[in-house]
Structure formats: structure tokens, C-alpha cells
Amino acid sequence: MKELIGNYAAVNGICILSLVILIHMAWHNVFFIREMKKQFILSACITITIILAEIASVIFENRAVTSDVFIFAANIIGFSLSPFIAIVLSRAFSAEKGRTGALLTIPAWLNAALVISSPWTGFIFSVRNGCYLRGPWYGVYIAAYLCSYAILIAQSLKAISLYQCPSKSTFVMLFVFAFTGTLVQLALPDIHVSWLCITLSLILYYAYFCELSETQDTLTGLLNRSVYEHYIKGLSQAASGSIFIFDLDDFKQINDLYGHQWGDFCLQVIGRLIKDVFLQLGLCYRIGGDEFCVICQTTDEQQLKETLSLFHGKIDEIRKRHHAQNEFPTVSTGYSTFLGFERGYAAAMKEADHQMYCFKNKRKQKG
């Protein structure tokens, strides 16, 4: 028995060490914003606390003489904090705090209250003669755990969409891995593998979103140039779709007159607008200083024109908000379609670029 306890403590000790390294990595991460760092660190700290509590619980349960108070304390920590790992982690990617998310946290808080009362009520668990037993309301804990995962899934999928990640298979595998490990311990309490799985999942989750963060242009939140080049290299010769090109007019003059901080603000606003308008059609990139592009799978001419018209209308609205409209740049655009072997991507890119410069020249002549 001592050997089994020793092995269990050793495995969980490795988990704790891994989480400490994760905390260090998150703290020094240059891709994550402060809020993302904070939530990753907090979720790792909660996991470490629970693992330590579970180690203590196993040790106390297997001692010949022990006080039930220590076992109660360890189980209160584990049962009350477990659902909050996923909730805290979900906040790293939460763009907005909606009522749905708040409602889904209610089971976690209810579970915490019932867990704290369990030494007197036995609702979630009880301890008799040093032995842990599940209580009649143990299902509340399971419901709280499932709701916390639902929050994490919903917020992660929103984040993946914002990151413009075309494949969700990696995220699905991560979720299945973590959830399977948890289910094993729920079904077989004597097999302590859930925290090993959760530790590995946190590390893999961190690595996954580090990879996604590296695809982003840090200023605009669009996909960066390296992702764009990788994408077009992988395009099949038979692929069809359309491409939009965007270029800010006289942007150097904007920077010179109003400063680079204002110029960066203009780039952020335009990048956000491109994503808002065109994300439903395709992938949005910043391919140069003041150059953007969108690659779509559709070749529907009417849809392309309507979307482009919507974009220009919104640019005009933004410019009208400023007293001196020249403070905010106009945007020249062009688009074209590529139709597989009939006309490839390179030819479509050249045509879209030509359209954009024609658009720019006409605007200058009118001005």
C-alpha cells in the first residue's frame, strides 16, 4: 500500500511540476494579452491546489489512525474547486460576458455550497472511519462539472472562430482526452487518472492557443503574412474562389500628419471592419503595412459586390464621425475570382491588384 501511495504521489508531483512550468511559460508569453495570461495561471494554480488536496486525502485515508477532519478538508477543496478550472480557463478567451455564461456558472456555485455543507449534511460526500463515500446529491457535482465544460467549449469555439482557425479537430481531440480521463475516475473512483489527464490537457490547450496566437497579426487581429503565404502555397491548381485586395489611400501622409499612434488606430479599425464584414465569406489577412486581403471560396458575383459595397458604406460612416474626414483614410479595393485550371490564383491576384489601383487613381482624379 505504501508503494502505491508513493507512486501516486510521484505521478501527481510530476503533474504539479509541469503546471509550475506552465505558469512560468504563461507569465512570459509575448503572444497572449494580460487577461489570457492571468486566467491560464489561475487555472493552473487551482489545479495544483486540488492535486495537493487529493494527495493529502489519499494519504490520510490510508493511515491506520487519522482524523476525519483532514479527509473532509481535502475533499471540500477538490469537489468545490474542480468545476472552476474550466470556467476560469474559458475567461481567457471570452470576448463578452453574456448571461448564458453567467447562468451556466450557477451549478458550480451551488455545488460549492453543498460541498462545504457536506461534513454536516453528507449531500455530496461523507467520511466514516477514515473512508470517503459519495453522497445522495453527488449528481449536482457532476452537473456542475459538465456545465463548466459547456462554458469552456462555447468560449473556445468563439475564440477559434475569431482566430479564423479552419479546423476544429485538434480542439475536439483535446476535449475528448480531458473528458475521458475525468469520466474514468467518476466511474472508477480508485483509479486516480483525472488530474494527470487535466494537467496534460492544460499544457496541450496552452500549446494549441500559442500556435493559434502565432497566426495572428498583433495589431489588427487578422491572419498574418506567413499564414497567407502558407495558404496560397497549399492551394490546389483546381481550386476556385475569389480574392479581395485592400489598400489605405495616402497612409504615409496620415502617419506624418497625425502620428503613428493614430495610424495604428486606423489600421486596427479597418482590420476589425474587414473581419466583421468578410469573415462570413472567407479568411482575412494583413499582408503588408497597410495592405489587406480576403480569400473566399465563393465566386458568386452578386454576393461579392454586395459585401464590398457594405464595407465601403461602413468606411464612409466611420469617416463621417470625424470632424476632419481627412484624419481617417479612404480604402481602395479590388477583387477577382480564380476558377481552377481556367484561371489560377496568381492571375486573379494580379487582376484584383489592377482593379484596386484603378479604383485608387479614379478617386485621386475626382479629389
| Range scoring the smallest mean pLDDT among 25-39, 126-140, 204-218 | 126-140
What is the CA angle 159-164-166, rounded to 5?
110
Percent of the chain topping pLDDT 70: 89
Residues shown for the chain: 367
| Range scoring the smallest mean pLDDT among 8-12, 179-183, 302-306, 345-349 | 179-183
Q: What is the pLDDT of residue 96?
A: 46
Query: What does the block give as the cell for 70?
Result: 483532514
Where residue 250 falls (left for φ over 0; alpha for ψ -120 to 50; beta otherwise) is left
Cα–Cα distances (Å) from 49 to 15, 62, 75, 93, 134, in that order, read 12, 20, 11, 23, 21
β-bridge pairing 240-248 and 331-339: antiparallel
CB 286 within 8 A of CB 295: no
pLDDT tens track for 288-299? 999 999 999 899
Sequence-separated (6 or more) residues with CB below 8 Å from residue 30: none
Q: What is the mean pLDDT of residues 200-227?
A: 92
Q: What is the pLDDT of residue 192?
A: 64
Q: What is the pLDDT of residue 35?
A: 86
Residue with cell string 497612409: 251
d(CA 264, CA 270): 10
Reply yes or no on whether the pLDDT at 303 is more than 60: yes
d(CA 47, CA 69): 22
Cα–Cα distances (Å) from 123 to 137, 305, 319, in that order, read 5, 62, 61
Q: What is the mean pLDDT of residues 206-227?
A: 92
d(CA 246, CA 360): 10
Q: What is the pLDDT of residue 108?
A: 94
Reply yes or no on whether the pLDDT at 120 is more than 70: yes
Q: What is the mean pLDDT of residues 236-256?
A: 91
Sequence-separated (6 or more) residues with CB below 8 Å from residue 277: 307, 310, 311, 314
CB 76 within 8 A of CB 58: no
